[in-house]
Structure 1
Amino acid sequence: MIGGIFSIHYYVSSTEYNYTSQPNAPHCTGSLDFRELRFARTMVFAIKEINNSSELLPGVTLGYQIHDSCASVPVAVKVAFQLANGIEPVFFPNQSCSKSATVHAVVGESGSTPSIAMSRILGPFAIPQVSHYATCACLSDKLQYPTFSRTIPSDYFQAAALARLVKHFGWTWIGAVRSDSDYGNNGMAAFLQAAQAEGICVEYSEAFYRTNPRAKVRRVVEVIRRSTARVIVAFVASGDMLVLLSELEGMALAPLQWIGSESWVTDREMLRFHLFAGAIGFGIPRSVIPGLRDFLLDLEPAQVSHSALLTEFWESAFDCSLGGSQTTAGQKPCDGKQNLRDLHNPYTDTSQLRVSNMVYKAVYAIAHAMQSIICTDRPNSPRHCKTSVPVEPRQVMEHLRKVNFTRNGYKVSFDANGDPVATYELVNWQVKDGHMEFVTVGHYDASAPDGQVFTMKKNITWASGQPQVPVSVCSESCPPGTRKAVQRGRPVCCYDCVPCSEGEISNATDSLDCITCSADYWSNAEKDECVPKPVEFLSFHEVLGIILTSCSLTGACMTIMVAAVFYRHRDTPIVKANNSELSFLLLFSLKLCFLCSLTFIGRPSEWSCMLRHTAFGITFVLCISCVLGKTLVVLMAFRATLPGSNVMKWFGPSQQRLSVVLFTLVQTVICTLWLILSPPFPLRNMKHYKERIILECDLGSESAFWAVLGYIGLLSILCFVLAFLARKLPDNFNEAKFITFSMLIFCAVWITFIPAYVSTPGKFTVAVEIFAILASSFGLIMCIFAPKCFIILFRPEQNTKKHMMGKMPSKSL
C-alpha cells in the first residue's frame, strides 16, 4: 500500500471551539486545484501501470490511499497519523500499538511546510516519504527528517541558480517577495545568501501568506509599487501568488521583470495574468509520460460518481450537477454529453508535464525499492518475487536510497540526503498569437562542469515585450577613471562614482579601488591609463633654453669683439694704462664664463653634471682674480707715485700672474676634492613634482658647492672693498670706480641668486643659475670694458697719455 497526499484544495474550514461539544473534523473547502488533481491522478496511473507490468513487481499488486491536505499543516498531520495507524475512530487500550503501518511509503506532500509536519510524524515510524514538490533545503537534514526523500531538486540549488541568473543579466538592485512559509522563508534565505555572494543587493524583502488579512497583502503591493527596483524575485507558492496577482492586477505599475521560482513559474493558472508577460524562472524539465493523457481523459460519469473528489471536479469543470434533479444553485443537471477532451484546463493540459513526472518517478522509485526487497534476479531465468515475504516500511526506506534506474529516458536516483541531481529549464513567458506560452530558453545542470552549468539556447522576451535586457541597478556603472564609493547607510550596490586621485587609475568598469601608477608613470587626463611621466629639463629646443643660449653666445661674441678692439689698439695709452695682460686674461675668463653657462642646458649626463659646476667655479674665480689683480694694480700704482715708495717692484707683472694663479689654484683644489670625494651626478627627481620627472644634477656634496660659491663671494667682496677704497684716486680715467660698479652688480646678483636658487623648482633652478652667471658676466664686461671701448672707438682724442695723466680736462661721457 502506498499513501498519497496532495494539496487539492487550498483552504480548510474554520472550526469554532466552544468546549461544550466535540468539534467537527477539519475539512477542505474552496475551489479545486485542477493541477494538484492531475498530480494525484498521475500517481494512480503509475500504480496501475506497475500492476500491469511483468517486469516490475510481477505477481505483486500495489494499492493506494490518496488524501487531500488542503495545504494545511493540521490536516496534513491528521492524514499522516491515519496513514501510519489506520483510520479507526476508537482506540482500544488493551491492543498493542506495535502493528505495522497501514502504508509502506507515502508520496507527497506538494508544499514544504506540510511535508515538514508529515515527516516529523512519519519519521519515528520509519515510513519513507517521497515528495514530488517540497523543495525546502531544510528537508535535506537527515538528522531531523531521516525518512524524507524527494524527486524534485532542493531549493538550495534553485536559489544558487536564480542568483546566477540575476548576475548573468547584470541586475544588482532587485526586490524580493516570498511566501511566509517554510518554502518561501528558507528558499529566500538561501537565495539572499547566494545573491550576496554574487554582489547583488535587495531593496526590500516582503513576506505574505494567502490567509493573511488583505491589508497586509496590499502593503506588500504598495512596497512593490514604490520601489525603484525593476526586477522582482518571487519565491512564492502558486496559491499565494494568485492572491498577490489579484491585488496587482489593474494597478498602474512601471514594467516589472518577474523572476519566478519553480512553484509558480510553470503553473498554467498564472497565464491569465498578462502582468507576468516576459517573466522568467527555473522550472522542472518538461517530460513526456506515454499513456497519461488518455488515462486522465478517459473518465465517464459513472466512474466519476463513485468518487466525491472526481464528482466535485466534474461539476466544477462542466458547471453542471451529477445529482440529477438535486442541483445546486445556478447549475443544470449533467446530460451525459460532457467530454473531458473538449476542456482546456490544467487537468487536461499534458503539453508540459513537469511536476507530474516527479510524482510518476516517486511512485516508480518506491516500487523499485520494494522489488529489491522481495525479488531476486537469476541468470538466464525470469525475475522471481516472493509475494509471501512481509515488507516493512523500514526496509523500503533503506532500499529507497539505493535505487538507480531510468524510466522513459529520465534517470532516478538519490544522494545521501535523499535529493536528486538538480536540473532545471529556464522558462520564459512569451505571448504568441495572443496567448501566453511557456518557452524553454535555457538549461541549468548542477552536475555539469564549470562553465557549462548554465546555458542559453533562445532569445528571451522581456517585460512589456522589450527586446533589450531591462536595467535594474541602484547606481549606474562607474566608468573607467572612477571608483565606487559606498553611500553611507545604504547597500553596497548604491554608490557614488568618485574620480581617481592624481597618479591613480581604474581601467575597468565598476572598479572598487584605483590602482596607483608605478614610479615612472602618471595617470592621464581620463584617469584610465598610466602613461610615462614627462621628463623635464632645460632643453636647447624650448623658448627659455633658446633665449639663454642666445644670451650666452651673444656675451661670448661680445667678449671676442672687445678682445679684438683691445688687441687692435693694444699700443694706445688706455689699453696700456689698464694692464693689457690682465685685461686680455679677464676677457678670456669672461668668454669662458659665458660659454660655461651652455653646460647647464640640455639633458644632464654624468660628465655635464661634473663639468658645469666645476667649470663655473674655476672660470669665475679666474675672472674675479683678474679683476682683483687690476684693482691691486690701481692701488699699487697710486702708492708708487708717493715720494720714496718702491711698492710697484713688489707687485709687478710676475706677481700679478702669480696672484691670479694662486687664487685660481685654491678654487681648483676645492673642485678637485669635490669631484674625487662626492662628485655631482644626474638625478631623476620625482619628489618635487609627482606628475613629472625632473632631470637635474645632484650636487653630490652640498658643502663643496657652497664652498665654491663662498670662495667666489669672498674674492668678490675683497675686490669690491679694494675698488671702493680706490674709487676717488686722482686720475681722469680711474678704473677702480668701474670695478666698484661691476663688483656691486656681481655681489647683488649672487646675493639674490641664493634664495632664488633654493626656492625655485625644477628646470627653473638651472635657469636661475644661468641667469646669475650671465648677469654677473655682462655686468663685468659692461662696467669694465664698455667705457674703454667707447673711448677707443668714439673718443680717440681722449686716448692719449696726457689725458690719462690728468693734464687735460676731461669731457663728461
Structure 2
Amino acid sequence: MLIWTLSVGQVSCCDYSGSMCGARGPGDIIIGVLNACHSKVANLEGRIQAERFNCTGFDLESFVETLAVIHTIDTINDSGFLPGIRLGYLVCDTCSDASKGIQDAIHMLAINQTKPFGCDLIERPLVKAIIGARYSEVSTAVARLLGLYMVPQISATSSANTLDDTLRYPSFLRTIPSDVHQTHALAQLMAHFKWNWVGVVSGDDDYGRAALHDFLKYAEDVNVCAAFNEVIPHYLDHPESRRRIDEVATHIQSSDARVVLLILKGQLVEQLFRVMISKGISRTWIATDSWSQYQAVAEMTGINTIGDVFGIRFITGPNPGYEHFLTNLSPGPGAVNRFIEEYKDLRFECTPEAQKHQDCLKDRPADQCPLPDSLKLKSKLACVLPDPQKANDDFLAQAPDQTYAHRLATWSIAFALRSLLQCNTTTCPGERDFKPGNLLLEMKNVNFTLDKRQFYFDKSSLATGYELINWVKRQKNRHFEVIGGYNVTIRTLGIEEKTIEWHTPNKTIPESKCSQSCPPGTFKKISMIFCCFNCSECEEGSFTNDSDLPNCLKCPGGTWSLRGAKKCYQRTESFLKWDDPFAISLLVVTGIGLLLLFSIFVIFLTKRSSVIFKVAGGEIVFVMMAGLAVSFGAVVLFVSKPTDEICKSRQTVYGLGFTLSVSCILVKAFRTFLAFLFDMNQQHMLNKLYKPVVIVVSGTGIQGLICTFWLIFDAPKVDRETSRQSMKIVLQCNEGSNWGFGIMLSYIALLASICFLLALKGRKVPQRFNETGYIIFSMIIYLFVWVCFIPIYVTKIQQRPAVQASAIVVSNFGIIFCHFFPKCYMMLCKKKHDTDRRSYLKTVHNFSISTISNELSYTPDSGHGSDVENSFEKSFYITDAGASTPNSSRASAMTMKAESHNTGISSSNQIRQRLRAKSL
C-alpha cells in the first residue's frame, strides 16, 4: 500500500518530485481532477497536530472513474477538437476526506507559484477547472474554497441537493441530477410496490443528512413512513463504526420493516452486509447512487442470501475506446500516474501471501484454498510475470462502466473552452491564460450534443436522468440489470415489472407495511403514524371498492349499503307478497274459511225449517256469515303492495264485517239471557230493548261512524320505512290516528265483552238450548287473540300486516267453530226424534219444572205460586218467540197450570213437593 506524502508549498508546474498529487499530464490548459482513489485516511481520529495524511484502502471503482477522465482528455486531444490546444491534467487523491480535499484544492491553485493565503485574489491560476470530488461532503468543502476564486468545479458523482445553492457554491456544477430527484425517485419506487413501512440507514456526512431529509419529505407525500432511522459514522475508521453497525443490524433484524434504504458509501454497505449475511438476515435493500453498482458488494461471499437489491444510478452511455484503454494501461507520453503503478503492484506483484496461495492450489482443490480478502485484486499471473508494471489484463474492463457522467464532465469543459477560445476547424485564437470565471460563464451556458443526445446545465445540474437497476443473481455473485428509469423533467418513474425475478420464497413482491391491507368494505383508521392504521368497516350507506382507501364513499343516487359493504345497491321494497310462504299459507287458510262459510250456508239454507236452525238464531245466522265473509275478504287486502286506498279499505272492511258478526252474536246472547230470565220485572223491562234488527244495525252503524271520522280526520296511508341496518324499504300502512285505530278495535272488544257477560249470566239453560257456552268460548278466543295482538303489533313493526291478518283469521275461525260447527253436527248427525219440536218442548217442560221447584224452595208460603207459574209461562213465550214456537211453549205452561189447579193443593209446600216429583 502506498503512503502519499503531502505538504503545502510552492511547487513548480514542471517539478512533480514533491507533488501532493499522484498523476499528471502536460498540456496548454490544465484540468484538475479530485477523486478518492483511496477510501480513507489512516489514524485520522487521533490527530492532535498538523501532520501528513496516510491514505489507505485502494478504491478500485474510484480509480476507474479517474482513468475515464484521463482517457476522455486523451480522446479530445487526439480528435483535434481544440485545434492547437492540448489539455493537460492533474489528479489528486482526496482519500474520501473533506480536509484532504481542501488541501488538494489549495495545492492545485498554488502550482502556479501563487499565494492562495495572501491578500490578493488568484486571478489566473494554471488549473482552470476541476473535476470532482467523488463524495458530496468533500465537494461541499472544496466548493466553498473554489467559489472564492470562481474556479469552475464540476462533479460527476456528488448529488447532495445543498450544492444547488448558487449563493454558497457559485462555481459548482455537476453532470448528474440533484438528490432532490433521486430521493423523489426512491419514494416513487417504494410507493409503486406499496412499501409504506421502510427502514432508513444513512451516513452522518452532508450527503447522508441532506438525502435523508429530502427522502422523508417526499416519502410523506406518497404515504411512505420510516419505521426507523439509523445513522452510521461516515468515516470508515471511526471508533464507533463497528458498534453502530452491529446495533443497526440488530435493529433491522428486530424491525417488521421488510424494505431498507441505505444512504451510505459502498464500503459501509459492505461492512453492514457482512453482519447481515452472518446473521442470515434477508431484506429488500434500496441502494442510492453511491453504492448501487459497487462491485465489491456485488461480489461478496453470500451476497445471494441477502435478498432483493434495487438501486438508482445515473444514466449511462458509450465510451468509445475506453475498454481498450483499460486493457492496455500506461501513463502515456510525458505523463506520470502513480495510481496505475499502485494498481499494477496490487494486481500483479508477487507477495509471500500470494505465493503461499498459489502453492496451495498446486497441491489441493480450489475449495480447500480460501482466498484472503487481501488477494481479491491479485491476478493469477502474479509471481509468474517478471515485471508487474508491464503487465495488463481485462480485469478492469469486466467491471460495469459507470463513467459516463465523468465523460460528460470532461466534454462539457471542452465545449466551453471551444467557445471561450473561439476555436474553428484550424485554430483557437482566444487567450489561453484566461480567468477561470470566464470559463465558468461559458460552462453554464453550454449546450452540446454527444452520442446523439443533447445536454445543457439546468441551474447547476446537467439535465439527465436515472436508471433503475436490479441486482440479479448470477452464480455466487450479482450482476446489474436495468428495469426502469426516472425522467427528471416530468418527474415520473417507469418500471418493467415483468423482468423482475423476486427472491422471496413464493417469488412474489414482498410486503413491507406497518398494517395489513384493508380489504374492500373497510377503510384505514389512521393511528399516530399515518402509515399505521386499523381497518374499520364502512358505516351503513357508504362503501369502499378498493383496498386501503382512507375514507368510505357515500352511496350515490339513492342506493344503499349495509355495514362493511363493497358496493351499493338499490333498496328492495318489502311487503307481504303473494308468493311469500306466509302469505300463501294465510290465503289458503282464508280460502278454507270462506269455503267453510259457503258449506255452512248451504247446510243452514237446506235445514232452515229445522228447530236447530231456529235455535241457532234463524235468519240472523246468514247475516253473521256475511259479516265473517267480509272479514275474511279484509285479509286479502293485507297481502300485496299497499296503497293509500288499500290502507283505508282493509281496516274499514275488517271493522265493519267483524262488528256485524259480533252484533249478531250480541242478539243471540241477549235473546238467551231474556228467554231464561225468571225475574218478571226485569224481563218485562229488558224485553223492550230486544230489537234484533235495531241492535245489529245500530252496532254496525256506530262502527261505521267511528271509521268515517277516522278516515276524515287522519286516514291510514302508506309509509316507506327505511332502516340504516336494512337494505329493504318496508312498505306498510300507517294507521294514521292511533286513536281511531284503537277506538275501532276497542268498540269491537266492548261488544264482545257484553256478549261474554250476557252469555255468562244465562249459562244455566237446557243443554239443547245452550248457546251461551259457545258464545262465551268464541268471545274468549277473540279477546285473547286481540290482547296478544296488541304487544306484538306494537313491537313487530315490519310484521304488522301478517300479525293483524292472522288475528282476523283466528277470530273468524273461533266464531265458525263455536257457532256453526255444533249446529251443523246436530243437523247432519243427530237422529230426527232428538232434534224435532216435541223433543225440544219436552226439554223446556222438564227444565221449567225443575227451575220452578228451585225457585219455590226459596219462596215463603204466601200464596204466590200462581205468580211463579205465570213467570215461567212468560219465559217460555219469550223462548218460544226466539225459537218461532210460541203456541207450543204456551200450551206447555197452561198444561202445568191446569194440573196444579186440579190437584186442589193450596199449600205451597204441597205444590213444591208435587213439582219436585214431577221434575223427577
TM-score (norm: length of structure 1): 0.84
After the TM superposition, which residues 707-722 of structure 1 pair with which residues of structure 2 at under 5 Å, given as runs? Answer: 707-722=743-758
**1:723-744 deviation line (CA, Å, top 9, x unaligned):** 4445457997264564344334
CA distance in 2, matches of 1:69, 1:311: 18
Residue of 397, 409, 417 corresponding to 1:349: 397
1:589 matched to 2:627: yes
**1:731-787 deviation line (CA, Å, top 9, x unaligned):** 972645643443344333323322232123422x33332232233323333333444
Alignment-mate amino acid for residue 289 of structure 1: N
After the TM superposition, which residues 122-133 of structure 1 pair with which residues of structure 2 at under 5 Å, given as runs? Answer: 122-133=146-157
Query: Any conservation in 2 of the 1:289–1:408 contact (CA below 8 Å)?
Result: no
**Which deviates more, 259-268 or 797-806?**
797-806
Count of aligned pairs between the two proteins:
781
**What secondary structure sits across from 1:263 in the alignment?**
coil
Partner of 2:444: 401
Residue of 837, 840, 846 corresponding to 1:809: 846
Query: Any conservation in 2 of the 1:427–1:438 contact (CA below 8 Å)?
Result: yes
Query: Any conservation in 2 of the 1:481–1:507 contact (CA below 8 Å)?
Result: yes
Would the alpha carbon gap of residues 120 and 297 (structure 1) be closer, same or farther in structure 2, given more than 3 Å must change? same
CA distance in 2, matches of 1:507, 1:476: 17
Would the alpha carbon gap of residues 642 and 59 (structure 1) be closer, same or farther in structure 2, given more than 3 Å must change? same
Residue of 72, 76, 79 corresponding to 1:46: 72
Report the alpha carbon displacement of residue 511 of structure 1 after superposing the two structures with TM. Answer: 4.4
CA distance in 2, matches of 1:557, 1:186: 94
Would the alpha carbon gap of residues 431 and 103 (structure 1) be closer, same or farther in structure 2, given more than 3 Å must change? same
Query: Any conservation in 2 of the 1:560–1:591 contact (CA below 8 Å)?
Result: no
Identity across the alignment (%): 28
Partner of 2:418: 371
Report the alpha carbon displacement of residue 84 of structure 1 after superposing the two structures with TM. Answer: 4.2
Residue of 191, 202, 225 corresponding to 1:178: 202
**Which deviates more, 690-699 or 581-590?**
690-699
Report the alpha carbon displacement of residue 692 of structure 1 after superposing the two structures with TM. Answer: 4.2
Partner of 1:152: 176
CA distance in 2, matches of 1:520, 1:300: 80
RMSD after superposition: 4.0
1:238 matched to 2:266: yes
1:290 matched to 2:320: yes
Query: Any conservation in 2 of the 1:370–1:396 contact (CA below 8 Å)?
Result: yes
Report the alpha carbon displacement of residue 681 of structure 1 after superposing the two structures with TM. Answer: 3.1
Report the alpha carbon displacement of residue 500 of structure 1 after superposing the two structures with TM. Answer: 6.0
Report the alpha carbon displacement of residue 186 of structure 1 after superposing the two structures with TM. Answer: 1.9
Partner of 1:324: none
Residue of 82, 106, 118 corresponding to 2:107: 82
Residue of 281, 284, 287 corresponding to 2:311: 281
Residue of 837, 846, 854 corresponding to 1:800: 837
1:316 matched to 2:346: yes
Residue of 686, 706, 713 corresponding to 1:670: 706
CA distance in 1, matches of 2:439, 2:394: 39
Query: Any conservation in 1 of the 2:160–2:207 contact (CA below 8 Å)?
Result: yes
Alignment-mate amino acid for residue 564 of structure 1: V
Report the alpha carbon displacement of residue 296 of structure 1 after superposing the two structures with TM. Answer: 4.6
Report the alpha carbon displacement of residue 469 of structure 1 after superposing the two structures with TM. Answer: 3.8
**What secondary structure sits across from 2:417 in the alignment?**
helix
After the TM superposition, which residues 101-500 of structure 1 pair with which residues of structure 2 at under 5 Å, given as runs? Answer: 101-208=125-232, 209=234, 210-213=236-239, 214-249=242-277, 251-277=278-304, 279-300=309-330, 306-319=336-349, 335-336=386-387, 338-344=389-395, 348-349=396-397, 352-354=400-402, 356-375=403-422, 385-388=428-431, 391-416=434-459, 418-432=460-474, 436-447=478-489, 453-456=493-496, 459-463=499-503, 468-484=508-524, 493=531
Would the alpha carbon gap of residues 414 and 804 (structure 1) be closer, same or farther in structure 2, given more than 3 Å must change? farther
**What secondary structure sits across from 1:666 in the alignment?**
helix
Query: Any conservation in 2 of the 1:166–1:172 contact (CA below 8 Å)?
Result: yes
Report the alpha carbon displacement of residue 690 of structure 1 after superposing the two structures with TM. Answer: 2.5
Would the alpha carbon gap of residues 217 and 402 (structure 1) be closer, same or farther in structure 2, given more than 3 Å must change? same
Query: Any conservation in 2 of the 1:429–1:436 contact (CA below 8 Å)?
Result: yes
Report the alpha carbon displacement of residue 614 of structure 1 after superposing the two structures with TM. Answer: 1.0
**What secondary structure sits across from 2:703 in the alignment?**
helix
**What secondary structure sits across from 1:405 in the alignment?**
strand
Report the alpha carbon displacement of residue 307 of structure 1 after superposing the two structures with TM. Answer: 4.3
**1:293-346 deviation line (CA, Å, top 9, x unaligned):** 44455545897994444433332332269xxxxxxxx998984475453251xx
**What secondary structure sits across from 1:751 in the alignment?**
helix
Residue of 778, 781, 796 corresponding to 1:742: 778
Would the alpha carbon gap of residues 353 and 785 (structure 1) be closer, same or farther in structure 2, given more than 3 Å must change? closer
**1:56-84 deviation line (CA, Å, top 9, x unaligned):** 4x344444332211111111122233344
CA distance in 2, matches of 1:32, 1:806: 137
CA distance in 2, matches of 1:768, 1:576: 36
1:32 matched to 2:55: no
**1:467-501 deviation line (CA, Å, top 9, x unaligned):** 54444445554444555556x67x55555556667
Report the alpha carbon displacement of residue 548 of structure 1 after superposing the two structures with TM. Answer: 3.0
**What secondary structure sits across from 1:809 in the alignment?**
helix
**Which deviates more, 665-674 or 264-273?**
665-674
**Higher Rg:** 2
Query: Any conservation in 2 of the 1:563–1:584 contact (CA below 8 Å)?
Result: yes
Query: Any conservation in 2 of the 1:9–1:28 contact (CA below 8 Å)?
Result: no
Report the alpha carbon displacement of residue 30 of structure 1 after superposing the two structures with TM. Answer: 0.7
**1:194-221 deviation line (CA, Å, top 9, x unaligned):** 3333333433332213233322222223
CA distance in 2, matches of 1:586, 1:246: 102
Report the alpha carbon displacement of residue 792 of structure 1 after superposing the two structures with TM. Answer: 3.5
**1:426-481 deviation line (CA, Å, top 9, x unaligned):** 2233344666433333333233586xx41428723444898544444455544445
Unpaired runs of 5+ in structure 1? Answer: 322-329
Would the alpha carbon gap of residues 425 and 735 (structure 1) be closer, same or farther in structure 2, given more than 3 Å must change? closer
Alignment-mate amino acid for residue 259 of structure 1: I
Would the alpha carbon gap of residues 611 and 131 (structure 1) be closer, same or farther in structure 2, given more than 3 Å must change? same
Query: Any conservation in 2 of the 1:596–1:615 contact (CA below 8 Å)?
Result: yes
**What secondary structure sits across from 1:203 in the alignment?**
strand
**Which deviates more, 612-621 or 462-471?**
462-471
**What secondary structure sits across from 1:2 in the alignment?**
strand
Residue of 645, 655, 661 corresponding to 1:617: 655
CA distance in 1, matches of 2:71, 2:682: 151
CA distance in 1, matches of 2:301, 2:644: 82
Report the alpha carbon displacement of residue 390 of structure 1 after superposing the two structures with TM. Answer: 5.5
**1:639-678 deviation line (CA, Å, top 9, x unaligned):** 89959998799668xx533442333233223323434444
Partner of 1:769: 804
Query: Any conservation in 1 of the 2:122–2:149 contact (CA below 8 Å)?
Result: no
Report the alpha carbon displacement of residue 633 of structure 1 after superposing the two structures with TM. Answer: 4.2
Partner of 1:779: 814
Partner of 1:68: 93
CA distance in 2, matches of 1:103, 1:462: 49
**What secondary structure sits across from 1:412 in the alignment?**
strand
**1:322-377 deviation line (CA, Å, top 9, x unaligned):** xxxxxxxx998984475453251xxx3276432x2222211222232233334177
Unpaired runs of 5+ in structure 2? Answer: 1-29, 352-377, 851-920
Report the alpha carbon displacement of residue 16 of structure 1 after superposing the two structures with TM. Answer: 9.3
